[in-house]
Structure formats: structure tokens, C-alpha cells
Amino acid sequence: MSVSGLKAELKFLESIFDPNHERFRILDWKPDELSCQFNVTGDQLLIIHCNLTESYPLTPPIWCVESDDPSLTRVLERLEDVRKSSTLLLQQLKRLICDLCRLYNLPQHPDVEMLDQPLPAGPLHPDRKLGTTDEVTSEEEEEEEMGEDIDLEHYEMKEEEPVDGKKSEDDGIEKENLAVLEKIRKNQRQDHLNGAVSGSVQASDRLMKELREIYRSQSYKNGIYSVELVNDSLYEWHVKLRTVDPDSPLHSDLQVLKEKEGMDYILLNFSYKDNFPFDPPFVRVVSPVLSGGYVLGGGALCMELLTKQGWSSAYSIESVIMQINATLVKGKARVQFGANKAGTHRPKRTARAQRPHMDRASSDGHLSVPAFHLSSLVLIRATLSDTSLSPA
């Protein structure tokens, strides 16, 4: 979507949910970020943030809320069910407001129905709230309310009966990827019978869900990235970033790399602990050797998103992959041709790379990191010295 198209969506939202709205308020917006407030009661306000990547709507919005309430985490996770729409942000926001009203036993606000209207063709007048001049008969109002009730019942049924089972779970997944999922399930059953269970039930269930969502994702199907399990382990993935911003120096470097070495992707290693998703994955760049882009020696990524302080269990792995892609470009990552014979970050540095990234931030300002805080998910552009970033 063009920047102008996204701005039209955001302005449309602001015209409906202004900062004085009784239920839901748009506090601030930029082309890549939306800050909102949900009014539960006069004293209880939920602050909600939405991050939009450059590939929106191909990549869905990333939502987070300033709360550790697991009920809110589940509300955000259900937004993944809303996928296909030319105005994906509006439809996810409609679902979010409806679900929050249900969660707190609040009446559904009528302004939510405006999110189904087509975007206005012309500029919005700041003094006119959209939809107020529309005359709707009582019969039409009843039909809308009935339609809303039906939608809500559908959502509730979906929660109560997620088991339409494999059919709904595996919908939209290619046969070869279904085979991978089935192989994982068989391995897990065999490990259980042999008494050699690894990982935790919680982490395994979430990782299966993440893998299933990735296999359904348009970004994955369009070849923006690919995922392979290392030795069929659910707890270690190889992720290949195959598409980066075509206007970036990194894209040019990858084209040269393809000509020289036949490789035109960035290989990342994702490893997960037993307490995932409450702890972030550890991610490192394996190859090629990169400098800049907040990549440290050994390939570790200096991103607060990947630390306990900046991580949220509500984040999806696909959103992490897309944020890493954007961070490498914004941080001006470059391929270091001829850095070593193997063309990979040195494995012996992996142990050192796994030390908490925040410990590497010095008080004299020599190293600062891009912060993806739970409260904002805004990339803070940092200046890093060449010596700090160059692989030794």
C-alpha cells in the first residue's frame, strides 16, 4: 500500500475516534505507528500501540498493550484471525474494540460500524464527524445490530469450539508444510513414549502455533522469508531473509553476493528456551558477515525487542522477523565481503553473543541500541562506532 493510502486509513480513524471519544481514542499517529486509548472506566484506561511495517498490508499490524493481563494478550492474539482486507487496520481495530467491550462487559459502541464504510475519496473536514449526517431507519439499525450479534456469536463459538480441529487449523497451509507439522507431531509422540521429552508443553504448543501461522502467511508464501527447522527441532530454526528494501545498500550487496557466491539471502538462527513465549528467542546472523544494522561481533542482534525488557509474549515470530528485516535496512547493514573464508559469523563467538545485550551498553554513550519497547515499538536510531560493529 502507498503511504498516501495508509495515511487515508489513519486520518479516517482519527476522524471517528478523536482524543475526546467516550470509548476509544486515537491519541497520536504516524505512518508507521498508532497510539490509542481504550476507556474502560473513567479511572481505568488501556494504552494500546500498533506498529505498521513498510510492507503493510502484506504484513499485518503489530499490536501491543501496556498490561500483563493474559486476557488482553488473548484479545491481541485473536486479531491474527482478521487477515484478508484492503483496509486491514480498520477491520482489526473493529475486532479489537468489540472484543474489549465484551471483555469488560461494556455495550458495543455504534461508532464501530463506521469502520466498515469505504474510505472517503476527498479530504476530511476536521469539524465533521463521519457518518453523523447519514439517516438510518430503525429497521436498518436493527439489521445492523443483529449482524453485529451474529459476528460476536461467531467469535465466541470460535473460542469455545476451536476443534473443528485439523481442518480449520491447517486451512491455507501447503501440503509440504503440513508434512513438516505432521512429522513434528510424530516425533513429539515418539519422544514421549521413549521418555525423552525435550522442551515444555507450553513452549511446544506456542511454537507449533507460530509455525502454523507462518505457513499461512502471505509474506512467507510470497518468498519474503523462509523457515527451516534445524535437525527437525521445534526449538531451533533457520530463517532466510530473501527480500529486503530494494532501494537499500544491503539489497545491492546481496545482488553482488549472489553473483560471487550464489547466495542472495541473510541466514538467521532462532533458538527458543523452555519458557517461550515469556522469554524472547535468541537470534543471531549466521551468514553473510554483516557490519552495521546493529549486528554485533558473533552475529548477535542488538535490539531491545529481543531482550526481556523489550519483549512481550503477545509478539508473533513473523512480526519479529519483519522487524529484524526493517532494522537491518534502517541501521545501514552491509555485507563484509571476504571477512572470512566461510563467509559466516564465527561460531566460537556465539556463547559471548548470547550475553544480555543491554550489558554491552556503556554509560559513556559508545553503544546505544534500537529500542522496541512494549510501550511504543518505535525504533530509536542509534549511532554505533565501526569498531563496535565489525566482526573481529
Q: Which residue numbers are catalytic?
A: 302
Rounded to whole angstroms, the Cα distance separating 320 from 252 reads 23
Strand partners, 240: 226, 267
Amino acid at 37: Q
DSSP annotation of 243? -
C-alpha grid cell, residue 110: 455504534
Cβ 379 vs Cβ 52: under 8 Å: no
Grouping H, G, I as helix, E, B as strand and the rest as coil, residue 261 is helix
Contact between 299 and 345 under an 8 Å Cβ cutoff? The reply is yes
User: Cell digits for 151?
Assistant: 459476528
Q: Is the C-alpha dihedral spanning 220, 226, 229, 235 positive or negative?
A: negative
Cα distance between residue 268 and residue 347, in whole Å: 13
- CA distances 363 to 366, 368, 369, 387, Å, are 8, 9, 12, 17
Scored b (16 or more CB within 10 A) or e, 62-77 reads: bbbbeeeeeebbebbe
Q: What cell was used for 183?
A: 512429522
Closest among 313, 225, 319 to 268, alpha carbons compared: 225
Does residue 285 sit in helix, strand or coil? strand
Which amino acid type is present at position 245? D
Cβ neighbours for 54, distance < 8 A, ≥ 6 positions apart: 32, 245, 326
CA geometry: angle 229, 234, 238, nearest 5 deg: 30
* Residues 114, 171: Cα–Cα separation, whole Å: 30
List beta partners, residue 3: none
Our measurement of the distance from residue 37's CA atom to the centroid of its chain's CA atoms, rounded to an integer in Å, reads 20
